[in-house]
Chain A
């Protein structure tokens, strides 16, 4: 009995330490997490649809706008962008790891409204009639090669017959770009627009904007956060350091107060940390700065259950119970208090989760998961440890608690 208990305890601790060191040194779990853009660098923006009078915004307009934004973002080559509707008329866009942030922002918010008008100013063709647009160089000039779809090509052909030897002005966003003279009938549905582009890149951008189509509703940017990769990196280092120092301080405090029991609680706390981070990894949570704050804070809270239990066990021992009985009674009495006291924190976290915005949600989620996991590690894991230690007759367990 006694030897078996010692063996089980040593084995359990060894397995936990081996697992912990594998996940922190050899294959750090932190390498597998998805970091938010406050830690990776990138752009987060919120756009509000500002409907034109008489054109109400409905869910169809919004999904069209999201589709267009997604197309543009894909062309930027951003990996793992998040584009989602927030509320009824807002779209939030998150672009982690974007290098040229200014240019990306310009590209997102811009519209390219193409119009080809008749000499009398009547609109003949718009960007909606295009099947393709490509930035190119023709006769040493930067420009955009336009290809119309079959309907557009037919209109274009008819117009080139009707207005032969006249000008067909091209407008981009309401501004006259050029007014070429139609010298011959154009049948293939092809045209070349030479704006005043100063680089091929600029022409290509305009071409992409034309390809993505015009936004069905003007979008106003109502919030913007940009974080450079350098700052993100600094934040990761700062949070890691804060987390490490917090763990060490808490662990030392527990050992100082509760000696061997404190040490066992510290091992349970280590298991807690890995389980929490593992759970965040498993649900593909995005780790942000507030999320890390949630992790660090919850570690301070996680030992609370152990503090309640140990104080209780100590009390029962002082009242004259045998170690084994005191441990059983202490745990049993403490669990109700632990459940009740965690419930209110959990309630606040739920409210934060449903009312908060993106990164506040992350904090709330971390807190909720943390509370549940800490109930497991602080109650069941530590109880297993302490029971084994008591069975092993180790270290005059009474002295451990009573001090």
Chain B
């Protein structure tokens, strides 16, 4: 029943593994790039269901006539009747003209439309950035008040790695992003801190009961082993819920479920293998400094 994993001894190994994943993620974000949907870029997306089978060329031809050749046309499903047309930002009259022209291909039903102007897209990005900054500051404050500053910074470092890894994988998979992607990233900000707090809480508790001459590494290791089962079990239930949402929840939430799923996965990993070692290394350095300075200037 009692597993014993030495999380601390091999911290370099875990850091290297994280560094490799982070580099791959950064490659995804900056080289391959995120696949921003119209919520960010502005544009119009129409989901049309025709009464008979059509080809994408039929639709592209109409779009070309309307000088909308930067548009994309994607077939939905295998019936060859339903298409998703994405155009750049178009005016109200351009849209109705296009809808009229599309009738020349055949009669269709408009399943859904969404149209976003680029002003809104820019605002979405700005709001997201503001939200991320606010969340970071609020979480650092909270952990500093409830625990200590070192825990807060160690937690945030792990959190940022978690978010970079998750977003990088989303970029590599190249899912089309909607505003729900931002919703997912912000939820990860709060939720993946969950795990770290449980770990920190246990370290704090065990430090109070630290036996004489017990090295601090041992305390951290024991704490991590004590919460390991809980971490895995909790992440599993959340990931089960997200997997059900990803597979069965329909197309509109795909980016949300995928981002959250990756975020929870990497969150658990970074909680166990990054946050605690970072805290420990920092703490050990502070302790060493204090020993060198017999009269500590500041109390901890």
Contact = CB atoms under 8 A, between A and B. Distances in A.
Contact of A363 (B44, B99, B183, B229): B183
B142 A250 contact: no
Contact of B236 (A227, A253, A351): A253
Contacts of B112: 225-228, 231
A347 interface: yes
Interface residues of B, number: 69
A352 B239 contact: no
Contacts of A245: 244, 248
A249 B250 contact: no
Contacts of B257: 293
B248 A352 contact: no
Max count, chain B CB within 10 A of own CB: residue among A109, A223, A300:
A300
Interface in A252-274: 253-254, 257
Nearest to A237: B250
B123 to A, nearest CB: 9
Given A102-B99, A223-B116, A293 B256 contact: yes
Contacts of A242: 244-245, 247-249
B191 A336 contact: no
Contacts of A349: 187, 190
A253 B194 contact: no
A235 interface: yes
A355 interface: yes
A246 B241 contact: yes
Contacts of B237: 250, 253-254, 300-301, 303-304, 307
Interface stretch (A127-135, A184-192, A276-284, A337-345): A337-345
B146 A239 contact: no
B234 interface: yes
Contacts of B236: 253
A345 B241 contact: no
B59 interface: no
Contacts of B130: 355
A337 B194 CA distance: 9
Contacts of A239: 249-250
A290 interface: yes
Contacts of A296: 241-242, 244-245, 249
A224 interface: yes
A105 B236 CA distance: 46
Contact of B186 (A241, A289, A352, A403): A352
Contact of A344 (B116, B190, B229): B190
A107 interface: no
Interface in A331-363: 333, 336-337, 340-349, 351-352, 355-357, 360, 363
B120 to A, nearest CB: 6
Contacts of B229: 311
Given A226-B112, A234-B250, A315 B226 contact: yes
B230 A308 contact: yes
A227 B252 CA distance: 12
A297 B241 contact: yes
A222 interface: yes
Contacts of B244: 242-243, 245-246, 249, 296
Contact of A226 (B113, B135, B193): B113
B198 interface: yes
A336 B201 contact: yes
A292 B180 CA distance: 13
A355 B183 CA distance: 11
Contact of A345 (B99, B190, B201): B190
A349 B135 CA distance: 9
B1 A38 contact: no
A198 interface: no
B47 interface: yes
A287 interface: no
A377 interface: no
Interface in B105-158: 109-117, 119-120, 127, 130-131, 134-135, 138-139, 142-143, 146
Nearest to A230: B111
A380 to B, nearest CB: 20
B248 A222 contact: no
A221 interface: yes
A348 B197 contact: no
A344 B252 contact: no
Given A228-B111, A246-B245, A345 B191 contact: yes
A337 B201 contact: yes
A216 B253 CA distance: 39
Contacts of A224: 44, 113-115
Contacts of A345: 187, 190-191, 193-194
A250 B2 CA distance: 24
Given A242-B244, A293-B253, A347 B142 contact: yes
Given A223-B116, A225-B112, A348 B241 contact: no
Contact of B197 (A226, A253, A340): A340
A293 B240 contact: no
Interface string A25-44: 00000000000001000000
A245 B115 CA distance: 33
A11 interface: no
B198 A308 contact: yes
A355 B139 CA distance: 17
15 contacts: A225-B112, A225-B114, A226-B112, A226-B113, A231-B111, A242-B248, A253-B237, A290-B253, A297-B238, A297-B241, A304-B234, A341-B194, A341-B195, A344-B193, A348-B189
**Closest 3 CB pairs between A and B?**
A348-B190, A300-B241, A300-B238
Interface of B: 1-2, 44, 47, 92, 96, 99, 109-117, 119-120, 127, 130-131, 134-135, 138-139, 142-143, 146, 179-180, 182-183, 186-187, 189-191, 193-195, 197-198, 201-202, 205, 226-227, 229-230, 233-234, 236-242, 244-245, 247-250, 252-253, 256-257, 260
Interface of A: 38, 46, 48, 101-102, 105-106, 109, 221-228, 230-231, 234-235, 238-239, 241-243, 245-246, 249-250, 253-254, 257, 289-290, 292-293, 296-297, 299-301, 303-304, 307-308, 311, 315, 318, 333, 336-337, 340-349, 351-352, 355-357, 360, 363, 367, 402-403
Given A293-B253, A348-B135, 7 more contacts: A48-B119, A102-B96, A246-B245, A254-B237, A318-B2, A340-B146, A344-B191
